[in-house]
Amino acid sequence: MTSPLLAVEHLAIGIPGGEGTVALVEDVSFTVRAGEAYGIVGESGCGKSTTIRAIIRLLAGRAGITSGSIRFDGQDLARADEATLRPLRGAGIGMIFQDPLTALNPVLTVGRQITEGLRYHGTVPSRERRARMQEVMRLVGLPDPARIAASYPHELSGGQRQRAAIAIALVCSPRLLLADEPTTALDVTIQAQILKLLSDLRHRLGMALILVTHDLGVVAQTCDRVAVMYSGRIVEEAPIARIFAAPRHPYTVALLNSIPRGTRAHHPLHPIAGMPPDPAERPRGCSFAPRCPNMQPACERAFPGWTAAAGGGGFACYHPAPGQAEASPDG
């Protein structure tokens, strides 16, 4: 096996405060191979967006990487300076954001915003930029590129805006696309279109994708492997089939139980009781312990170590749900 495109190792992110640093993300490690689609799921505030923003070094406010490394193509982005990061942003790693309404500059034409990246990366000569722009616009399914390129963001629909944002991210052909809840702000029908588009693009362009979402259903449609984050840590990682067939961490189990399953009777919704802990006041042991049905005294003493699971991935839990061999088939 070749070395991975992206290797995040023991990444920790914190906000310096009056009483020491508040840890937003702790000890996060994962790898993404070239062309692979990797999902990160979790509730709001679990650190999933913070983690992928750290990869391209666009952390908000005073948050910063406190330890760990982010190796992309052999370079450690966690310690890179702006001059090293700039050529990578857009050209090596592209990113799309949650809200297509605010992600586009309201006073610049869509075309200008798409070609801008080409201009500063200097990979495409100026007379070919328009052609490249139209090519990428057709790629993301924007009809009538010439007209839309001359439009302003407020003249487009929500779905068109997200397609334009994807075009901006793809115009310099990055090898890794970071998608931070790209469908959350969209209608359900548009959501499905955008997800299908991202999957198609990944296959056609051979690009790797990291998709952050709170929706396991979205991950199921799009990703090869998935990490489940809770309170700043990865609590379970698995190939996509296994996470649905045999989830091991009680939090993953609870997340799956809280997915609405349409008309199936005898499957009432089980919301997870309680709230994730405040990052400033995390329990000493497993941070899911206060909400966990399998909780034992040991869980509150120290954070559980990583256990590798059969078939890839692993989990961080003292008392996991039974594995595939032991699990009773789901009726």
Partner 1 sequence: MLNYILRRLLLMIPVAFGITLAVFLLVRLIPGDPARAILGIHATPALMAAVRTRLGLDRGIGMQYLLYIKHLVQGDFGISYYYGQPVSQLVLTRMVPTLVLLLYSTIISLLIAIPAGLLAGTRQGRGTDHALRVVATAGLGLPSYWTGFILILLFSVTFHIFPIAGYGNTWGARLYNLFLPALTCALNVAPLVMRALRTSLGEALGAGFIDTARAKGLPGNVVLLSHALRVAILPALNVLGLNIGFLVGNTVLVENVFAVPGLGQLMISSIGTRDYPTIQMVTLMFGVIVVLIYLVTDLGQILLDPRVRRSELG
Residues in contact with partner 1 by CB under 8 A are 56, 58, 82, 85-91, 94-95, 97, 99, 101-108, 113, 116-117, 120-121, 152, 154-155, 165, 168-169, 172
Between 179 and 216, CB nearer to partner 1: 179
CA angle 283, 287, 288 (to 5 degrees): 135
CA angle 304, 225, 245 (to 5 degrees): 75
Taking the C-alpha atoms of residue 48 and residue 300, their distance in angstroms, rounded to an integer, is: 24
Between 106 and 329, CB nearer to partner 1: 106
Between 86 and 196, CB nearer to partner 1: 86
Residue 8 Cβ vs partner 1, minimum distance, rounded to whole Å: 18
Q: 10 Å Cβ neighbour count for 220?
A: 15
Between 185 and 286, CB nearer to partner 1: 185
Q: Which residue has the tokens 């290797």?
A: 7
- Its sign, for the CA torsion 6, 63, 314, 215, is negative
Residue 6 Cβ vs partner 1, minimum distance, rounded to whole Å: 16
Report strand pairing: 37-41 vs 314-315.
unpaired
Under a CB-based contact definition with an 8 Å cutoff, are residues 251 and 235 in contact? yes
Residue 68 Cβ vs partner 1, minimum distance, rounded to whole Å: 21
Between 13 and 56, CB nearer to partner 1: 56
Between 162 and 231, CB nearer to partner 1: 162
What Å distances lie between residue 19 and 15, 16, 62, 281, 284, CA to CA? 11, 8, 15, 12, 17
Residue 207 Cβ vs partner 1, minimum distance, rounded to whole Å: 15
Between 169 and 235, CB nearer to partner 1: 169
Under a CB-based contact definition with an 8 Å cutoff, are residues 291 and 273 in contact? yes
Taking the C-alpha atoms of residue 241 and residue 176, their distance in angstroms, rounded to an integer, is: 23
Structural element, H or E, at residue 179? strand 176-180
Residue 102 Cβ vs partner 1, minimum distance, rounded to whole Å: 3
Q: Which residue has the tokens 């379970």?
A: 236
